[in-house]
């Protein structure tokens, strides 16, 4: 009898430990993201708000979720309630992918992990606005866990971002993506390109985003890439001779 009680106690105790361990790994105490950030020269105020199924008490995890943003300039909304990031139960939350943020210019903010390595070892993303319009905002993602928001890019201008190197040590591919809106109110459709970097990365790389009236194209000076075409098949993106400056 006592042997049975002892075995039952051991079984229940093991289950309890298992529940505690599982709870520790699946629980986060961080509530929905709610961030307000003002540019260094006080021109822009950026507001981020996370929406969706973000429970505050165990059992935790999350369901569908998204982060939306608004940009205020001189008391007027330049951008209002736009989607910045979205995911489902299998996707990391914004704050898990991008725990740090910093203004890199008065009109550009970076989200991501802590910046590592000296700037001389960083890659570069050159953004050329070849249109006659202001680009009201441009959302740029570099790799999995680095994102930039840029505001009011002037017509016929170039902007350079210093980004974390995608060296090929952890993946066979690098990736650059963007989406935005023009001053006319027309959306700049999302565009993304994967680049074959395994065994080809020998130092800081340069990527180019060219914004034209028909949309954005993304290339690299060092690497050939590919993207999904209209038919769903991969389309080769040849190397560019140089990024416009």
**Residue 125 maps to which CATH number?**
2.60.40.2890
Rounded CA separation 245/243 (Å): 6
| Same domain flag for 156 and 87 | no
The answer as to whether 217 is a domain residue is: yes
| Same domain flag for 130 and 176 | yes
Q: Count the neighbouring beta carbons within 10 Å of the beta carbon of residue 172.
A: 11
Rounded CA separation 200/2 (Å): 68
Predicted confidence at residue 101, as pLDDT, reads 97
The answer as to whether 4 is a domain residue is: no
| Same domain flag for 133 and 231 | yes
Rounded CA separation 64/87 (Å): 6
The answer as to whether 81 is a domain residue is: yes
| Same domain flag for 72 and 107 | no
Rounded CA separation 220/191 (Å): 14
**Kind plus residue range of the DSSP H or E element containing 15:** helix 2-26
| Same domain flag for 111 and 221 | yes
Predicted confidence at residue 108, as pLDDT, reads 98
75: three-class secondary structure by DSSP: coil
Residue 139's nearest CA partner among 204, 68, 72 is 68
| Tally of domains in the chain | 2
Query: pLDDT tens, position by position, for the chain (245 residues)?
Result: 434 434 434 334 444 333 332 222 233 447 789 999 999 999 999 999 998 776 655 555 677 889 999 999 999 999 999 999 998 888 898 999 999 999 999 999 999 999 888 899 999 999 999 999 999 999 999 999 999 999 999 999 999 999 999 997 778 999 999 999 999 999 999 999 999 999 999 999 999 999 999 899 999 999 999 998 877 889 999 999 988 87
| Same domain flag for 93 and 107 | no
Predicted confidence at residue 50, as pLDDT, reads 92
| Same domain flag for 141 and 238 | yes
Name 44's Cβ contacts closer than 8 Å, sequence gap at least 6.
38, 71, 72, 73, 78, 106, 107, 151
Rounded CA separation 146/60 (Å): 26
- Domain end position, chosen among 41, 76, 97: 97
Decide the pairing of beta strands 187-196 and 173-182.
antiparallel
| Same domain flag for 204 and 149 | yes
Peptide bond into 59 cis (omega under 30): yes
Predicted confidence at residue 104, as pLDDT, reads 97
Q: Are 26 and 37 in contact (CB under 8 A)?
A: no
The domain in which residue 36 lies consists of 30-54+61-97
- Domain end position, chosen among 74, 97, 120: 97
| Same domain flag for 79 and 167 | no
Would the CA dihedral through 195, 200, 205, 210 be positive or negative?
A: negative
| Same domain flag for 167 and 210 | yes
| Same domain flag for 213 and 147 | yes
E strand segments, 88-154: 100-105, 108-112, 123-129, 135-142, 146-153
| Same domain flag for 75 and 111 | no
Q: What is the pTM of this model?
A: 0.84
């Amino acid at each position: 009898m006592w042997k049975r009680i002892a075995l039952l106690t051991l079984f229940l105790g093991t289950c309890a430990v298992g529940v505690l361990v599982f709870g520790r790994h699946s629980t986060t105490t961080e509530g929905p993201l709610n961030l307000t950030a003002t540019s260094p020269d006080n021109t822009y105020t950026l507001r981020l708000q996370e929406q969706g199924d973000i429970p505050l008490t165990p059992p935790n995890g999350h369901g569908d979720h998204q982060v939306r943003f608004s940009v205020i300039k001189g008391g007027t909304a330049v951008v209002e309630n736009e989607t910045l990031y979205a995911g489902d139960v299998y996707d990391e939350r914004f704050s898990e992918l991008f725990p740090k943020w910093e203004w890199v210019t008065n009109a550009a903010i970076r989200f991501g992990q802590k910046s590592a390595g000296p700037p001389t070892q960083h890659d570069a993303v050159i953004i050329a606005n070849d249109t006659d319009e202001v680009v009201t905002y441009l959302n740029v993602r570099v790799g999995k866990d680095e994102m930039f928001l840029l505001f009011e890019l002037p017509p016929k201008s170039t902007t350079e971002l210093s980004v974390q190197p995608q060296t090929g040590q952890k993946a066979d591919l690098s990736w650059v993506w963007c989406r935005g809106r023009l001053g006319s109110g027309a959306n700049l459709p999302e565009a993304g390109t994967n680049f074959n970097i395994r065994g080809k990365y020998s130092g800081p790389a340069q990527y180019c985003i060219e914004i034209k009236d028909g949309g954005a194209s993304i290339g690299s000076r060092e690497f050939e890439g590919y993207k999904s075409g209209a038919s769903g098949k991969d389309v080769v993106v040849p190397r560019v001779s140089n990024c416009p400056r």
